[in-house]
Structure 1
């Protein structure tokens, strides 16, 4: 469970790290001029500047909210948020809220969060190089074992008698695809019963056994599964191939990122004394695989 949480965290940090890079942030809060300096002043509030960098930091914090705002309105939305923030922050200082203990604790938390994002962007994300992605691809290719996969069509009906009747119509010259469209109760009927390619283990056992036993172009006898009665036509049989790097490099980049995140943070934790003083939480974390 904690592994999946770490991956979710890493994925969210990817978004944050991208926003820290000005051109990417400009896209998230688009439209913005190309190559805008982070020091560009966008507004002043009580004599204090709001800069392009501030806008990008806001885009990072409000990434989810921005998804609800039309792209052309995001920069104005962010600037409005920042103006409200400046006004309220100044009012808080006048009230002495910046001297409170809870503010100091919150400030410490926010500093840790900002440093975590910076570390992720500058250390972990930086590991996702073309060379690292190529190495991940080569490692996967070296362990790749081709599998037989088949492409099949089917017709699903409720009774064996109905399946036999349809089989007779097909034997009499009716196209399998036409029969599937006319009679099948399965959602694939709109595509002539086409199920695409699949390997062993992807279909229920009786169906799979029958499909893999057919010759290309052959139609099966009625086959019963928990879903009903099937007629199956084998369209093709082939061996799977390793996809080209260009097709999977995005997935591999994420894989390298996640692995580097887990390895790096795991090593940091291993070299840090960590004690959970709340026994109930310590037990819960242990039961969920530890930290």
Structure 2
């Protein structure tokens, strides 16, 4: 497993939308409102900007929802223009903010589109190389209700009985169908009594005395010991890619700040801003 700080970083998301609509080459007209045409590209943009609840809908329903919103927007926007609302200072300020936000998003899309697969793989390998060595064991067990039952199983093992067959026959754990196989695990994954016994045993050895836990009495066999394996790259590639994107975003902001002075007059806002951006 990646260390907690690395996993936590994977949950961070840059607070912008990186999804841009894929415009059709043939920008067909899909609807008209009077003489105003609604093109496929307009619909694609509307679909890309649907709220999260609409994004969960099937594709056909998403298109209908987006078209419905688009028609409503254009109808009301026409009335707003006739009322002259586009000339108000409040509207102009909002449009300036929206333009800058979209430029911010467009620049990030451009930068992240240039992200190479080898950059993501290199970041993964860097993290894997920094992980501390941790032992893990591959164990089997046979779980029974009483100590006497466990002692009898150990006696049969001493007499040459096969552990897997005994587990299938005697164990009361859900792993019995797999011969008591618990797979590989690291410390902290099992109850203390079980864990202590498993990590004390050598490879190929089984417990010579029953091990008691809250679940009953165990007979444990260690099949293998090795250094814990990190998750395969294919399993964590999306998370690693997100980390690289977050790091690139932080670098973009840092570089931008070198050319500009950020000055915040309000003391409370200044302190809050500095606290929030401390890790960038």
TM-score of the superposed pair, with normalisation by structure 1:
0.70
Q: CA deviation at 1:84?
A: 1.0
In the TM superposition, what is the alpha-carbon distance from 1:122 to its structure 2 partner? 0.6
Larger % of helix: which? 1
- Structure 1 unaligned runs (5+)? 23-35
1:53 is aligned to 2:36: no
Task: Say how many residue pairs are matched.
Answer: 263
Partner of 1:211: 198
Shift of 1:198: 1.9
Residues 136 and 287 from structure 1, CA distance in 2 versus in 1: closer, same or farther, beyond 3 angstroms?
Answer: closer
- Is 1:69 paired with 2:57? yes
Distance in 1, Cα, partners of 2:75 & 2:9: 36
User: Within 1, Cα distance between the matches of 2:254 and 2:11?
Assistant: 13
**RCO higher in structure (CA 8 A, sep ≥6):** 2
Query: What SS does the corresponding residue of 1:50 show, helix, strand or coil?
Result: strand
1:199 aligns with 2:186: yes
- 1:276-291 counterparts in 2 under 5 A? 276-288=264-276, 290=278
| Cα drift, residue 153 of structure 1 | 4.4
Matched, 1:273 2:261: yes
Describe how 1:1-291 pairs up with structure 2 within 5 A. 8-10=12-14, 13=16, 16-22=17-23, 36-37=24-25, 39-62=27-50, 64-123=52-111, 125-140=112-127, 143=130, 147-153=134-140, 162=145, 164-168=147-151, 170-171=153-154, 175-176=166-167, 179-180=170-171, 182=172, 194-203=181-190, 206-215=193-202, 216=204, 218-219=206-207, 221=209, 223=211, 231=218, 232-241=220-229, 248-288=236-276, 290=278
RMSD of Structure 2 on Structure 1 (CA): 3.8
For the pair shown, which has the larger CA radius of gyration, 1 or 2?
Answer: 2
Question: Per the alignment, in what secondary structure is the counterpart of residue 273 of structure 1?
Answer: coil
Give the CA deviation at 1:151: 2.3
Paired residues of 1:6 and 1:262 also in contact (CA < 8 A): no
Q: Which structure 2 residue ranges, 5 or more long, are not aligned?
A: 1-7
Distance 2:130 2:10 in 1: 26
The alpha-carbon deviation at position 78 of structure 1 amounts to: 1.2
The 3-state SS of whatever aligns with 1:198 is strand
Secondary structure of 1:276 counterpart: coil
Distance 1:114 1:190 in 2: 57
1:120-163 residue CA offsets vs partner (Å, 9 max, x unmatched)? 1112x134213323433554465566643212345789xxxx55
Contact 2:10 2:240 (8 Å CA) reproduced: no
